[in-house]
Amino acid sequence: MAEYSNDEERLLAIVDFFKHYRNLILSIVISISVIGIGAYGIKYTQDAQNSSAALVYSTWIEDISNEENSIINDNESFDILINEYESTGFAQLAMLKKASALASNSQLGESKIFFKKLIDISGGFFGNPLVNKMSRVSLARILIAESNYDEALKSIESLMSGSDPLINELAGDALMGQKKNTLAIDQYNRAKDLYDDEASKNIIIMKLNNIQQVL
């Protein structure tokens, strides 16, 4: 895990993460929301709800497109979306976008609230597993930056059986923060084996080297 000399560096690290992956997050979420909306639209009542949510979402997008109305500001349309249409893909997309924007703006406390809410409403048999996963990963990143390693591991615990190297890397970061070096090395090695790009592999190698210096 990267070492931070002060809280400011730790905060900048998490902000940089959300800024760096912002376009990827938005592109994936747009695809997710379309799939989710199609699934929810099977029943008439759900289809009607999605239609209403779409109108509110469009109003919100128009509002935040105005330079005077940032995505992180309070907004009536956003409140309607998350309070009346939280099960729709439109509401979940809006929450994910706002949570990521808040994190990029160093408002980690508010960002965590939305990520936790997304985890709750996107879980379960009829939930959206991709939204749930992205929310858990994002929450874990923030918790690790805050040195809340126990909660970070709990956030991604349900994802540990998969084959996503990012999950293993995050687990390694949290375990390293807990001083569980042997377990951290195991997770980092799994991530290194699963990553298919050299840049990510090199980052893992650097983290492994940092552990070796501590041992």
Query: What is the per-residue pLDDT across 126-143, written as a single tens digit (0 to 9) for each?
Result: 788 999 999 999 999 999
Indicate whether 107 and 135 sit together in one domain.
Answer: yes
Q: Is residue 104 part of a domain?
A: yes
CA distances from 170 to 65, 75, 140 (A): 34, 33, 7
Same domain, 135 and 190: no
pLDDT tens digit string along 81-111?
999 999 899 999 999 999 999 999 999 999 9
Residues 131 and 189 in one domain: no
Asked if residue 2 belongs to a domain, the reply is no
Instruction: Find the domain containing 187 and state its range.
Output: 160-215
Task: Tell me the pLDDT band of 212, cut-offs 50, 70 and 90.
Answer: confident
Query: What span, in angstroms and rounded, lies between the C-alpha atoms of 78 and 94?
Result: 7
Q: Tell me the whole-structure pTM to 2 decimals.
A: 0.77
Residue 154 lies in a domain: no
pLDDT tens digits along 5-37: 566 666 666 766 666 666 666 666 666 655 555
Q: Quote the percentage of the chain above a pLDDT of 90.
A: 65
Residue 9: per-residue pLDDT = 66
Domain contains 114: yes
Q: Are residues 62 and 129 in the same domain?
A: yes
User: Looking at residue 201, what is its pLDDT?
Assistant: 95
DSSP class of residue 159?
A: G
- Tell me the C-alpha distance between 41 and 23, whole Å: 27
**DSSP letter (8 states) at residue 72:** T
Q: Give the residue from 140, 158, 214 showing the smallest Cα distance to 182.
A: 214
pLDDT band at 40 (very low <50, low <70, confident <90, very high): very low
The tally of CA atoms less than 13 A away on the side-chain side of residue 110 is 16
Domain boundary among 126, 149, 172: 149
**Residue 128 in contact with residue 111, Cβ under 8 Å?**
no
Q: Give the separation between CA 98 and CA 21, rounded to whole angstroms.
A: 14
Q: Tell me, yes or no, whether 173 and 131 share the same domain.
A: no
- d(C-alpha 32, C-alpha 37), whole Å: 8
Kindly state whether residue 34 falls inside one of the protein's structural domains: yes
Last residue of a domain, one of 149, 171, 204: 149
Residues 142 and 170 in one domain: no
107 within domain boundaries:
yes
Number of structural domains the chain divides into: 2
How many residues in the chain? 215
How does pLDDT run across 152-197, given as a tens digit for each residue?
A: 999 999 999 989 999 999 999 999 999 999 999 999 999 999 999 9
Residue 54 within any structural domain of the chain: yes
Q: Report DSSP state, residue 34.
A: H
- 137 and 173 in one domain? no
Looking at the structure, do residues 165 and 145 belong to the same domain, yes or no?
no
Q: Give yes or no: residues 171 and 215 share one domain.
A: yes
Residue 179 counted as domain residue = yes
Query: pLDDT-based confidence at 41, cuts 50/70/90?
Result: very low
